[in-house]
Structure 1
């Protein structure tokens, strides 16, 4: 349905409206038969993705959600009933910046008196593993989650599985071409390691919508999203079957993996965090032993990994 402008409908403020997670949330709310007003935040309201949102009835607000812009950030949330919040660690790869910006968002939302916050967090790898593993990409979100839970505003953490689209990136290839023309899915963790993978564009927003459409906003709930819980060996096999290309799992040493990540431009600390994440998944599970949330209550079924692999654009990696 078309997004409504009726004041009786709840106003949902969505951070990252033109990005992957925020875009998925808006897509799911647009599909709902319930009325919503949506305010989407982006740094550039003139880009094509923002213009497309405006045509769908979304109120697009241009704002830079950084600490230095605190006053404008606070103004941006005024009038919102609910807020979807997300930060992008990989944009800057700074733990301190992610935590400070995440706390700023929570403070701004709290100040405007919202009925509920939905935050895109992650588990604390460091805490669950007793300090054995750590990853700034996870730790920053876990710290913001703790801050949000203590803020006194109804708070739900909808955690994101590993993006399926990561398999399609040439800048950080999950699938690499071998010398003999075949393809490998390299990892420091064994092939039996299970990952919770999310079809982000089509599925993540459904979980957020599910939370918003519960009879009572479920304060304190943790949602562990997934489209597929698959071993790395099964990932390789299904990619191979879906694309017709020979793709096999290949376990590599931490040294080789670290060199590869640094060569792709990742700072050593970020590279180490990625490797620790895979070791953590093997030993504790992607969500640290928490089971993926049952998707039966979602508004529509999600695709299988095989269906996704068959329909995806592999032109940047399977060349």
Structure 2
């Protein structure tokens, strides 16, 4: 562990320190042979995750990163040499808010004088599809922040996270296998089983890609990094899940209408459209299809595959 308090070490400000991405970034930097001072932002210092970070030597700053708290947001980044920025669209499902808060973070970092910014961005789906898919708010809003960051004049790199492997076992996610009356399991999605998606164990591996950018011999200003462990067909994901767990599990392609009916129960109405657009966009354009993958040799270690992730999960709640 190389988290230090030495003034000579670069100070990295990490948004979402107790979250999946921010926590992964801190872990990856702590595992580096290079020394870092780390300032982690959270809204709740009483969380067990925050207390563990304090034990590691992370400076914890309690702050709400919202427009109404602008002055304190600016102060929070003071003295930072580098920053990792992320927003959480699914916390509020408000694209305008995400854009405003993302721009606030960039403005605050710029005012601090930091010379390296890494932003957790999203694919500009509306632009790539020529306006065909306009409901992918959670990608397009991040893409607009990316544009703002690149125009800010700060050395700026975007690190896009692939489909979270964690979404597989997560409650009420659409890739979660559902138990059938005969004891088997079914995964329903409005895409072909041959549709390929990039998958990432975000908690374990996202930080590897951020660390690689920070420690590159030359900071790759203006670039986009695609963070994923592997690209895999949906049908293969389900087949590997069945083999690993020993449970009968099959993939079933359903209609967009059936899919929308399923997800309407647990997301806002406008995001039902977003989830439907995601499915069609992935089939037609793929996800991260235009990005050159990061060579594994450049990373501190190889990220996990879907199968490696699935093998170490506790699936007992799913099978109960």
Q: TM-score, normalised by structure 1?
A: 0.97
Selected match of 1:237 from 236, 239, 255: 239
Deviation at 1:172, TM superposition (A): 2.1
Aligned to 1:151: 152
Decide whether the 8 Å contact of 2:179 with 2:185 is kept in 1.
yes
Decide whether the 8 Å contact of 2:200 with 2:305 is kept in 1.
no
Aligned to 1:227: 229
Aligned to 2:179: 177
Decide whether the 8 Å contact of 2:84 with 2:118 is kept in 1.
yes
Decide whether the 8 Å contact of 1:74 with 1:111 is kept in 2.
yes
Aligned to 2:293: 292
Deviation at 1:200, TM superposition (A): 0.6
Deviation at 1:262, TM superposition (A): 0.7
Q: Report matched runs for 1:1-319 at 5 Å.
A: 1-134=1-134, 135-174=136-175, 175-263=177-265, 265-319=266-320
| Cα distance in 1 between the residues matched to 2:191 and 2:293 | 20
Q: Could you list the structure 1 runs, at least 4 aligned residues long, displaced by more than 4 angstroms after superposition.
A: none
Give the 3 Å change call, closer, same or farther, for CA 291–271 of structure 1 in structure 2.
Answer: farther
SS in 1 for 2:9: coil
Deviation at 1:180, TM superposition (A): 2.4
Moved more, 111-120 or 275-284: 275-284
Decide whether the 8 Å contact of 1:80 with 1:112 is kept in 2.
yes
SS in 2 for 1:317: helix
| Cα distance in 2 between the residues matched to 1:178 and 1:289 | 38
Structure 1 unaligned spans of 5+ = none
| Cα distance in 1 between the residues matched to 2:179 and 2:122 | 31
Moved more, 170-179 or 9-18: 170-179
Decide whether the 8 Å contact of 1:173 with 1:317 is kept in 2.
no
Decide whether the 8 Å contact of 1:281 with 1:288 is kept in 2.
no
SS in 1 for 2:6: coil
Decide whether the 8 Å contact of 1:128 with 1:288 is kept in 2.
no
Decide whether the 8 Å contact of 2:200 with 2:304 is kept in 1.
no
| Cα distance in 1 between the residues matched to 2:288 and 2:221 | 20
Decide whether the 8 Å contact of 2:228 with 2:303 is kept in 1.
no
Deviation at 1:252, TM superposition (A): 0.6
Structure 2 unaligned spans of 5+ = none
| Cα distance in 2 between the residues matched to 1:302 and 1:293 | 11
| Cα distance in 1 between the residues matched to 2:318 and 2:119 | 32
Moved more, 288-297 or 302-311: 288-297
How many residue pairs end up in the alignment? Answer: 318
Decide whether the 8 Å contact of 2:224 with 2:291 is kept in 1.
no
Deviation at 1:178, TM superposition (A): 2.4
